[in-house]
Amino acid sequence: MLAGPKKLSLRILQDFSGSNGSLEKSPRLQGAGPHTRAGEPGVQRRHRDGDAGRTEGSKLVALFEHPLYNIPVPEVTEKDKLFVVNPMEKFSLRSSGSDEWVSSSKAETLLPTGKTAYDTYPTWLKFHVGINRYELYPRRDPLMPTLLRDLATQRIVSSVQKSGGTQLKLIMTFPNYGQALFKPMKQTRDQETPIDFFYFSDFERHNAEIAAFHLDRILDFRRIPPVSGRLVNITKEIRDITTDKKLAKTFFISPAGNVCFYGECSYYCSTEHALCGKPDQLEGSMAALLPDKTLAKRHSWRSPWRRSYHKSKKAEWELNPNYCAQVRETPPYDRGHRLLDLIDMTVLDFLMGNMDRHHYETFEKFGNDTFLLHLDNGRGFGTHSRDEPSILAPLQQCCSIKKSTYLRLQLLATQPYRLSDLLREALATDPLAPVLAEPHLRALDRRLGKVLAVVGRCLARAASPEEVLVDDVGSRV
């Protein structure tokens, strides 16, 4: 891996403890209102879903214009931002003529051209700079089309295996030091996870990573880093450029003449599970990396509703119907909206059939009062013909949900905002469209109905609706 990007980011970004007081002045970083953002010209609205020509009759545009998707987020103060930016640090190509990007300490806040230092940042860095306590990226983020396009099209200058995890994934680096987490296609869109498979031996699916990002955004969570599909040339964009000898050694030519590799990992890294191009083109997901952990530490939380990860043992929550009462008394679930955030995540996971949410993360800087990162969604969308009710256990057992989430789920169950239509539309802009087979899209509507039914049963049993629907919107809708 290149050492460059980390060092570079360290100069531009300073975490809260090292704040030098001077805030970067780009409009995107100011806590502008939800409906309009200074510096976001109208023309950019057409671009916000990555496809300038699709607003006519677009359900997605209608959705994001709906009042439920315009509830203001709290004001973002300095302490609510992940980074304090040094406005003196410009991002520029080194004058030596090498293609290495460096930051120039001599830059002025306002450059002679009228641009700010922020304007010189590559999009990935702007994305990192925009992260705050409440969201990974804002609604109608003008950066999103560029971010996704960069993931899909920028030249890949380095590909190495990411350590950790059970299945093969690669860290890919772009010329501007942006990085992506690449997960290769292991299953075609039409394959379903065999019914006898355990969640812990299921494949990680590249298309699930892509679809999860869009689904999360449609639910207005914005807790998954941007992911784009990409057709990668595994010869030129992996084998020929990797410095990872262990990875390089696993490349071979298949009997059909295709280029294949399998890498080193604990699951499915063998000749029998090789990843093969056609002849060297292979689909994969490219997820924007979060800021390096040395810059923005994260806390990993074990989910209270974690499964046993054992063939026959059951977890406590599977045996104890009063499990939620216990969780409600346990920090950090005993205060704030953490439990409700976790239930949001549960809804996302049930919709996509992901049983593998053993942990979630938060940015340490924000303590317990912050959104939950929904990372690692590759085990979603494995089956469309069955639903897994146990994923909804937190909702079923706690009978609590944010009012805003519930209202949005109700909206997504109506014809003009039908969830499957919205996700289909969102995925149509991906380079690997159609990302999901139709049965997976249709399953979403069925599962949404089941989520609403669970809430319905909670409401029927409750003394008052407020017991179930926790008001996080007040008079804002």
3-state secondary structure the chain: CCCHHHHHHHHHEECHHHCCCCCCCCHHHCCCCCCCCCCCCHHHHCCCCCCCCCCCCCHHHHHHHCHHHCCCCCCCCHHHECCEECCCCEEEECCCCCCCEEEECCCCCECCCCCEHHHHCCHHHHHHHHCECCECCCCCCCCHHHHHHHHHHCCCCEEEECCCCCCCCEEEECCCCCEEEEEECCCCCCCCCCCCCCHHHCCCCHHHHHHHHHHHHHCCCCCCCCEEEEEEECHHHHHCCCCCHHHHCCCEECCCCCEEECCCCCCCCCHHHCEECCCCEEEEEEEECCCCCCCCCEEEEECCCCCCCCCCCCCHHHHCCCHHHHHHCCCCCCCCCHHHHHHHHHHHHHHHCCCCCCEEEEEHHHCCCCCCECCCCCCCCCCCCCCCHHHHHHHHHHCCEEHHHHHHHHHHCCHHHCHHHHHHHHHCCCCCCCCCCHHHHHHHHHHHHHHHHHHHHHHHHCCCHHHCEECCCHHHC
Binding to a second copy by residue 377, rule CB under 8 A?
no
Given a contact cutoff of 8 angstroms between Cβ atoms, the answer to whether 36 and 80 are in contact is: no
Binding to a second copy by residue 253, rule CB under 8 A?
yes
Candidate ranges 193-201, 319-327, 336-344, 360-368; the one touching a second copy (CB under 8 A)? 193-201
User: Rule CB under 8 A: which of 305-344 touch a second copy?
Assistant: 311-312
Smallest gap from Cβ 435 to a second copy, in A, equals 22
Residue 443, marked binder:
no
Among residues 276, 327, 444, 451, which is the contact residue for a second copy, using CB under 8 A?
276
Binding to a second copy by residue 272, rule CB under 8 A?
yes
- 165 versus 431: smaller Cβ distance to a second copy: 165
Smallest gap from Cβ 357 to a second copy, in A, equals 16
Please report, as a single letter, which amino acid is at residue 326. Q
Longest distance between any two alpha carbons in the chain, whole Å? 72
Smallest gap from Cβ 27 to a second copy, in A, equals 50
Residue 376, marked binder:
yes
Among residues 29, 151, 211, 260, which is the contact residue for a second copy, using CB under 8 A?
260
Smallest gap from Cβ 33 to a second copy, in A, equals 48
Among residues 43, 195, 460, 463, which is the contact residue for a second copy, using CB under 8 A?
195
Candidate ranges 131-139, 189-197, 206-214, 450-458; the one touching a second copy (CB under 8 A)? 189-197
- 105 versus 270: smaller Cβ distance to a second copy: 270
d(C-alpha 373, C-alpha 379), whole Å: 16
- 190 versus 196: smaller Cβ distance to a second copy: 196
Smallest gap from Cβ 147 to a second copy, in A, equals 33
Candidate ranges 91-99, 177-185, 215-223, 260-268; the one touching a second copy (CB under 8 A)? 260-268
User: Rule CB under 8 A: which of 199-218 touch a second copy?
Assistant: 199, 201
Binding to a second copy by residue 56, rule CB under 8 A?
no
d(C-alpha 408, C-alpha 425), whole Å: 18
Among residues 46, 55, 189, 267, which is the contact residue for a second copy, using CB under 8 A?
267
- 30 versus 270: smaller Cβ distance to a second copy: 270
Residue 204, marked binder:
yes
Residue 365, marked binder:
no
Candidate ranges 101-109, 173-181, 190-198, 289-297; the one touching a second copy (CB under 8 A)? 190-198
Smallest gap from Cβ 467 to a second copy, in A, equals 33
Candidate ranges 139-147, 191-199, 213-221, 358-366; the one touching a second copy (CB under 8 A)? 191-199
**Strand bridging mode 469-470 / 401-402:** parallel
Binding to a second copy by residue 460, rule CB under 8 A?
no
Among residues 255, 302, 464, 474, which is the contact residue for a second copy, using CB under 8 A?
255
CB atoms within 10 A of CB 426: 25
d(C-alpha 422, C-alpha 55), whole Å: 12
Smallest gap from Cβ 267 to a second copy, in A, equals 7
Smallest gap from Cβ 352 to a second copy, in A, equals 17
Q: Name the residue among 34, 56, 444, 469 with its Cα closest to residue 222.
A: 34
Candidate ranges 251-259, 324-332, 436-444, 453-461; the one touching a second copy (CB under 8 A)? 251-259
Among residues 86, 173, 228, 258, which is the contact residue for a second copy, using CB under 8 A?
258
β-bridge partners, 173: 158, 179
d(C-alpha 221, C-alpha 69), whole Å: 10
Q: Which residues are catalytic?
A: 356
- 302 versus 311: smaller Cβ distance to a second copy: 311
Residue 316, marked binder:
no
Which residues are part of a known binding site? 167, 183, 204, 287-290, 361, 376
State the binding site for Mn(2+): 204, 376
Q: Name the binding residues for ATP.
A: 167, 183, 204, 287-290, 361, 376
Q: List interacting residues with a second copy (CB under 8 A).
A: 195-199, 201, 252-256, 258, 260, 267-268, 271-272, 274, 276, 311-312
